[in-house]
Amino acid sequence: MFSTIKTIFERDPAARGLEIILYQGLWAMFFHRIAHFLYKLHVPFVPRLISQISRFFTFIEIHPGATIGENFFIDHGAGVVIGETAIIGDNVTIYQGVTLGGTGKEKGKRHPTIENEVVIGAGAIVLGNINIGENARVGAGAVITKSVPPNSTVVGNPAWTVRRDGKRLDPLEHGALPDPVHQVIDELNKKVAILEKRVTDLAEGRMDA
């Protein structure tokens, strides 16, 4: 729990003194560590009961079977869902409304693996037994159903994968995420402007037909 408190102060600029004891993510992780420990011991019923009590008070649902590394930070937290076979590495940050879910009724590993240093923006949905590579950034509202390579950014629905050209983003730099849809529209607008100029020049006899 102390490492979680340290992580909150490091990553949340709004964290002040004793206020952090009110953070949903702090208590969600406190309850999850207990529930996961009992789950690994194959204690029946109690781990799931603890997770449901945690859900009631924090609005964050983490299945006791989920494996979560060190320095995990849930900012705001309401609406976060983490499935049973999800694996989360170290120094991962996720925001409110994130779902790490499964697809279909398959057995075994059916939830995502989130590697170290990943940031997942608010409302993002990551589904299935896929891998989000180390130091990846998932934009707010993205829907991810395929694995994401390390050091990449994914945005949109359906998600687009965009390389960052080696530039490392701060975890809070959501405004620096690229928007590939707007980039495509901008390119189309430029081409249309060029074609319109050529048509105008033709109409005015300034170009050879």
Predicted confidence band at 3 (pLDDT cuts at 50, 70, 90)?
confident
The answer to whether 87 touches 102, Cβ cutoff 8 Å, is: no
Average pLDDT score over residue span 56-66:
97
The answer to whether 149 touches 136, Cβ cutoff 8 Å, is: yes
Average pLDDT score over residue span 55-61:
96
Q: Which residues contact 124 (CB under 8 A, 6 or more apart)?
A: 94, 95, 97, 98, 99, 138, 139, 140, 141, 142, 143, 144
pTM of this prediction? 0.78
Please tell me whether the peptide bond between 178 and the residue prior to it is cis, using omega within 30 degrees of 0. no
* Axis-axis angle for helices 24-40, 46-58 (nearest 10): 170
Given this model, what pLDDT does residue 187 score? Answer: 79
Q: What is the pLDDT of residues 161-173, one digit of tens each?
A: 776 555 555 555 5
Mean pLDDT (the chain) is 87
Q: What is the pLDDT of residues 110-133, one digit of tens each?
A: 999 999 999 999 999 999 999 999
